[in-house]
Structure 1
Amino acid sequence: MDHSPKTAQTAAQPLTSRPGTTPLAGQIRVPGDKSISHRALMFGALADGETRITGLLEGEDVLRTADAMRALGADVTQLGAGQWHVRGQGRGRLQEPKDVLDMGNSGTAARLICGILASHPIFAVLTGDGSLRSRPMKRVTDPLSGIGARFAGRAGGRLPLAIEGTATPTPLVYRLPVASAQVKSAILLAGLNAEGETVVEEPEATRDHTENMLRHFGATVSVEVQGHGRVVRLVGKPRLTAADIVVPGDPSSAAFPIIAVLIVPGSAVTIDNVGLNPLRTGLFTTLQEMGADLTVANERIEGGEPVGDLIIRAGALQAVEVPRSRVPSMVDEFPVLAVAAAFASGTSRFRGLSELRVKESDRLTATAALLSVNGVSVEIEGDDLVIHGSGGKPPAGGGKVETHMDHRIAMSALVLGLGTAAPVTVDDAAFIETSFPHFADLMRGLGADIVSA
């Protein structure tokens, strides 16, 4: 099977989801965690020896990372579905790529690779698709310039971006102006080749997969909790040694079938092997506050990450207020949480969603639009999203949603259509493959009615 990422713009793939006549039911696994998959390939390339990866997400975003690591000199091989081997170059020994690195739609890959390249004495150029080229990179390139790297890009540091790394990186002490796991990770990756200690202060705790994986590969990382935030310290120039990785199911991907089950009456589904990192489970906490019937079974540790099986049953939902402090632990899940709020009793408010404005699309605006065009009363107040729930009655539906090349907007809209009175259509579902291969097929297997528009 060809797992190469697409090299050209794919034709639009409109889909329609229709309210079903039967509940959703079954036992499934969702694709591997995208954040961990990206990092597994990157750390494998930076380590001495051969890293074996099980459960790697084979969506287009991650395949772009695999190609980039090959271009930088690592031997990256797929042995079977989700089974990959990476023979690394060793820390500080990546090679200069012979061509432009095309990161497709992946902001995570682009920003983290900026960190890797910044402290290697090589030249590289990053580009991406139309969506990625529109996203700001200065939040990464500004601090990385402080280690001695040089960047030249379009306005706002946007791609295409030329990077000239430094042979003598200066360790940074940097306080993030906005909580961002991507910026934190880029700085830590750059700090691997710097003498001394790299320090990142974050105002709110963000996902810590980079810190966990650094330790897994042999680096010394310490974390100090300060209020809602943390101070992360990395000792530079560690020996990184190959280490096997088991990638758990992505909680951000699990969010879509979870919400679908909650809004389709009578549904009950089990999702096996989902990552339960406490800095990624804000959605699960929020849903339980809404009264969702969501329980965790068979909790365990795999590859240094907590994992469990989720059991979800449909039921009445109550409105919820999500505090700003919870945003980093569920930043990707707000579009589909908004779908759940549309079915709840009462008015929900999600606070402090400024980060959603710089995702694959302006997700804050796109989320409000996907609800509004389908008859849900919604407002944006500053950086807050306010949703007036239907009290358990199906919202009208019947709208066509503009996805803006954003996979999460597309999936959220398709989930919405499973519970509305009239079908919901998305203008393009092609980009779902970047993070959730075969999403529509998996949902159909549970009983969802999703068809070509």
Structure 2
Amino acid sequence: MSDSRIDFLVQPGGALVGRLRVPGDKSISHRSVMLGALAEGRTAAEGLLEGEDVLRTVNAFRAMGVRVDGPRAGHVEIEGVGLHGLKAPAAPLDMGNSGTAMRLMAGILAGQAFDSELVGDPSLSKRPMKRVAEPLNRMGAEIRTEEGGRPPLRISGGRALSAIRYALPVPSAQVKSALLLAGLYAKGETAVTEPAPTRDHTERMLRGFGYAVEVSGSTVRLSGGGRLKACRIDVPADISSAAFFLVGASIAPGADIVLEHVGMNPTRVGVLTILGLMGADIGIENARESGGEPVADLRVRASRLRGIRIPPEQVPLAIDEFPALLVAAACAEGETVLSGAEELRVKESDRIAATAAGLRALGIDARETPDGMIVRGGGAFRSGTVESLGDHRIAMAFAMAGLRSQGPITIRDCKNVDTSFPGFVELARRAGLGITIRGGR
């Protein structure tokens, strides 16, 4: 795709119908490549997300001497070099738009013998990295950031790492994962304690690669000095990508879709719990396990949603899905209150501000709070223009608003949708959404 900006134009009405499978889980795809590269032997993965974020991770390991065949049609094979087999890259490693890649790579690179630098696009360059650099430096790493703890990250090699016992100040699977990955290189036992549960893909996948990980209550522990052994991975469909269709089918009269092979990791299903509390009609079918992760098919039919006060314990389990959930809230009868979600302000955009502004642009009463939002729903969206601010999840969430709109909706600056959901427009159109792409000004 060219560097020129693209917009989405969504026509009003329609309903989502049929069976579809969204792309592979981005979190699991990143980790498959990372651990496959650090393992001994040849790792094969199916269902890998071929979005720009994951391809940045693939290219970073190629730049450090790892042979990666693919991905092609979701299949990739990685010739692992072991924990100490990476080579110094010739240039800074560009993580593009991916905060996950940058934070997890910081943990891996902290334990290497060579110097390295992690850079990103303008959006990623504004995101806070002190939260990961500070605990890694406490382990003995040397990571320097720009003013305010922003990227790029300059990581000095050859530092001896020591294990750490660290209590996360806020729930963050990315920081937890970075510390666990650094712990692979540290002397002693690294222990990370969470204030609330976050996605546990790193812990599950480390075990899948034969590495001992202990989980006791809210604390995860591992000892350094082990080995990762190559394995086969089947990446489930990404529930964060499925969330847009879960919401779209819930709000559009006549909708009836089945989302296939969706990852049902218990640390990721907050979106299902919250939609269920709002009255959504979501059936779980064909529940099974695939590659160590629970998966199922989800049947979603239109329903009358009601506003709720979102339970605080569900917020970390649905943190990436709130742009879509708040579009659902705009269609629900009554008031929806979100609190305890200040993490949304430091994503690809300030998602609280961006979502509230988008809802207001479409005629919805949406009031920001410091850590969330109050949305008064019950009506239809009016025609209008939404600024996505280059945030893929804002763009896709508001695309679904067209299903309940009185007129066309324009969503600006949607190029970054390809970072997590290549083919979104084509799949949404096939399911029944009247969406087209047009070049920006």
TM-score tier after normalising by the smaller chain length = over 0.9
In structure 2, the residue matched to 1:425 is 410
Match of 2:26 among 34, 43, 47: 34
In structure 2, the residue matched to 1:287 is 275
Runs of 4+ residues deviating >4 angstroms: none
Q: Distance in 1 between matches of 2:310 and 2:336?
A: 8
Structure-2 change in CA distance of 1:79 and 1:253 (3 Å): closer
In structure 1, the residue matched to 2:358 is 370
Equivalent residue runs for 1:39-50 within 5 Å = 39-50=31-42
Structure 1 position 79, deviation (Å): 5.7
Residue-by-residue CA offset, 1:383-424 (whole Å, 9 max, x unaligned): 12110011xx4232x221111110001111111122111221
1:160 and 2:148 aligned:
no
Structure 1 position 149, deviation (Å): 1.4
Q: TM-score, normalised by structure 2?
A: 0.97
In structure 2, the residue matched to 1:3 is none
Match of 2:111 among 119, 123, 139: 119
Number of aligned positions between the proteins = 438
Superposed CA RMSD: 1.2
In structure 2, the residue matched to 1:77 is 69
Structure 1 position 288, deviation (Å): 0.8
In structure 1, the residue matched to 2:48 is 56
In structure 1, the residue matched to 2:322 is 334
Q: TM-score, normalised by structure 1?
A: 0.95
Residue-by-residue CA offset, 1:303-348 (whole Å, 9 max, x unaligned): 0000000000011101121122211111000000000000001100
Structure 1 position 378, deviation (Å): 0.9
1:209 and 2:195 aligned:
no
Conservation of the 8 A alpha-carbon contact between 2:142 and 2:159:
no
Task: Give identity over the alignment, percent.
Answer: 49
Structure 1 position 166, deviation (Å): 3.6
In structure 1, the residue matched to 2:380 is 394
Q: Distance in 1 between matches of 2:416 and 2:431?
A: 22
- Counterpart residue identity of residue 316, structure 2: P
In structure 2, the residue matched to 1:10 is 3
Conservation of the 8 A alpha-carbon contact between 1:48 and 1:241:
yes
- Counterpart residue identity of residue 388, structure 2: T
Q: Report the 3-state secondary structure (helix = DSSP H, G, I; strand = E; otherwise coil) of the residue aligned with 1:116.
A: helix
1:303 and 2:295 aligned:
no
1:449 and 2:417 aligned:
no
In structure 2, the residue matched to 1:409 is 394
Conservation of the 8 A alpha-carbon contact between 1:148 and 1:165:
no
Residue-by-residue CA offset, 1:29-82 (whole Å, 9 max, x unaligned): 000000000000000011000000000000000000000111122111116300
Conservation of the 8 A alpha-carbon contact between 1:101 and 1:125:
yes
Q: Distance in 2 between matches of 1:154 and 1:44?
A: 31
Bigger mean CA deviation after superposition, 264-273 or 146-155? 146-155
In structure 1, the residue matched to 2:221 is 233
Match of 2:81 among 89, 104, 111: 89
- Counterpart residue identity of residue 354, structure 1: E
1:180 and 2:172 aligned:
yes
Segments of 5+ residues of structure 1 without an aligned counterpart are: 1-5
Conservation of the 8 A alpha-carbon contact between 1:219 and 1:235:
no
Q: Distance in 2 between matches of 1:232 and 1:166?
A: 26
Segments of 5+ residues of structure 2 without an aligned counterpart are: none
Conservation of the 8 A alpha-carbon contact between 2:129 and 2:145:
no
Q: Distance in 2 between matches of 1:402 and 1:79?
A: 32
Q: Report the 3-state secondary structure (helix = DSSP H, G, I; strand = E; otherwise coil) of the residue aligned with 2:152.
A: strand
Structure 1 position 167, deviation (Å): 4.1
Structure 1 position 287, deviation (Å): 0.7
- Counterpart residue identity of residue 22, structure 2: V
Structure 1 position 380, deviation (Å): 1.4
Structure 1 position 23, deviation (Å): 2.6
Equivalent residue runs for 1:244-283 within 5 Å = 244-283=232-271
In structure 1, the residue matched to 2:344 is 356
Structure 1 position 154, deviation (Å): 1.2
Residue-by-residue CA offset, 1:2-25 (whole Å, 9 max, x unaligned): xxxx7xx711101111113x4321
Conservation of the 8 A alpha-carbon contact between 2:288 and 2:294:
yes
